[in-house]
Amino acid sequence: METKLSRVVAVNGSPRASEGMTEIVVRRFLAGAESAGAQTEVLYPAKMKIAPCLGCLYCWFRTPGVCRHKDDHPALMEKLQQADLVVFATPIYVDGMTGQMKTMFDRFVTYTPPFFEFEGHRSYHPRVGEKEFRALVISVCGFPEREHFDAVDLHFKRIFENMRAVSLGEMYFPAASIMATEPGVVEPNLQAVEAAGGEAVRDGAISVATLERANREYIDDPRVFGEKLNEIFHGLRRHHGSET
Ligand SMILES: Cc1cc2nc3c(=O)[nH]c(=O)nc-3n(C[C@H](O)[C@H](O)[C@H](O)COP(=O)(O)O)c2cc1C
């Protein structure tokens, strides 16, 4: 089988790592990628030792390219650099990516030279390496509306611009608990995610039609969804004896 991308690495930024809803979407994408012939791996920052950036800039001026922290970040970075496609997958926490994901991105500063270059309409740090870096965003959130992805959507666009990464697109899953409570509702979207994994590996791109299918609306009425979820929440409180 002819493939364009042979190595796909996903970073799942959920603190729940492989136990959450983000994982469900990531695994479907990777299943599609594997059936198209790619090797895949998932990395979980929550399970790795990645210390927050201290802003000391030792890595810029004293020991260029080497961070003062001795932890798992360089090993993670090496895997990302070897990948033909990196899937950045994060739940929405407080309208953005999780702390684990952001901490990982902050530490990218080590590998970025300090110098400023004006390019097009704004300033950047110099491009790192010759290899084309392809990236994709997967995100899930608790609320049922798609606007909860607005901030993360813009944030990843800027991050990818800074990295000069080629973006293959975004796949967003609101009302993520529905994947556990009523999986059938979201199954057509997950099938599209799987198809997207195959397309990415075979073609190096995902078609607009597939991305639209993956992002198809599946919550008819956010109020009805909220009411159903509230019943579940009350039930959980009763189960734990914190509500009568
Ligand atoms: C601390 C915290 C903050 C959250 N903030 C938001 C939020 O701003 N908007 C939203 O829609 N969901 C929010 N959620 C819900 C999560 O996005 C949702 O539970 C998601 O399924 C978690 O991903 P995971 O299942 O992969 O761990 C938050 C959850 C937690 C624990």
Q: Residue 3: is its pLDDT beyond 80? A: no
What percent of the chain is predicted at pLDDT more than 70?
A: 99
In a domain, 146, yes or no: yes
- The CATH number given to whatever domain includes residue 34 is 3.40.50.360
In a domain, 88, yes or no: yes
What ligand 1 atom has the least distance to the C-alpha of 23? 26
Measured in Å, residue 23 CA sits from the centre of ligand 1 at 13
In a domain, 235, yes or no: no
Residue 149, both tokens = 């992805």
d(C-alpha 143, C-alpha 131), whole Å: 38
Query: Per-residue pLDDT averaged across 92-98, rounded?
Result: 98
In a domain, 157, yes or no: yes
In a domain, 167, yes or no: yes
Measured in Å, residue 90 CA sits from the centre of ligand 1 at 9
Establish whether residue 27 lines the binding site of ligand 1, counting it when its CB lies within 6 angstroms of any ligand atom: no
pLDDT at 132: 87
Backbone angles phi, psi at 13, to 5 degrees: -85, 10
Instruction: Give the confidence band of 145 by pLDDT, cuts at 50, 70, 90.
Output: very high
Establish whether residue 90 lines the binding site of ligand 1, counting it when its CB lies within 6 angstroms of any ligand atom: no
Establish whether residue 140 lines the binding site of ligand 1, counting it when its CB lies within 6 angstroms of any ligand atom: yes
Query: Per-residue pLDDT averaged across 126-144, rounded?
Result: 93
Q: Whose CA is nearest to atom 24 of ligand 1?
A: 20
Among candidates 126, 129, 107, which has minimal Cα distance to 115? Answer: 126
Query: Per-residue pLDDT averaged across 139-143, rounded?
Result: 98
Instruction: Give the confidence band of 233 by pLDDT, cuts at 50, 70, 90.
Output: very high
pLDDT at 1: 62
User: pLDDT averaged over the chain?
Assistant: 97
Establish whether residue 14 lines the binding site of ligand 1, counting it when its CB lies within 6 angstroms of any ligand atom: yes
pLDDT at 85: 98
What ligand 1 atom has the least distance to the C-alpha of 176? 21
Measured in Å, residue 98 CA sits from the centre of ligand 1 at 9
Q: Residue 171: is its pLDDT beyond 70? A: yes
- Domain containing 37 equals 7-218
DSSP string, the chain: ---S--EEEEEE--TTGGGSHHHHHHHHHHHHHHHTT-EEEEE-GGGS--PPP----HHHHTSTT--S--SSHHHHHHHHHH-SEEEEEEE-BTTB--HHHHHHHHGGGGGS-S--EEETTEEEPPP--SSPPEEEEEEE-SSS-GGGGHHHHHHHHHHHHHHTPEEEEEEEESSTTHHHH-HHHHHHHHHHHHHHHHHHHHHSS--HHHHHHHT----S-HHHHHHHHHHHHHHHHHHTTS--
Number of domains within the chain: 1
Q: Whose CA is nearest to atom 17 of ligand 1?
A: 141
Give the bridge partners for 21, in sequence order: none
pLDDT (tens digit, 9 = 90+) per residue, 185-221?
Answer: 999 999 999 999 999 999 999 999 999 999 999 999 9
Measured in Å, residue 91 CA sits from the centre of ligand 1 at 6
Q: Beta strand pairing status for 117-119 and 122-124?
A: antiparallel
Instruction: Give the confidence band of 4 by pLDDT, cuts at 50, 70, 90.
Output: confident
In a domain, 117, yes or no: yes
d(C-alpha 19, C-alpha 129), whole Å: 35
In a domain, 129, yes or no: yes
- Ramachandran region, residue 152 (left: φ > 0; alpha: ψ -120 to 50; beta: rest): alpha
pLDDT at 129: 83
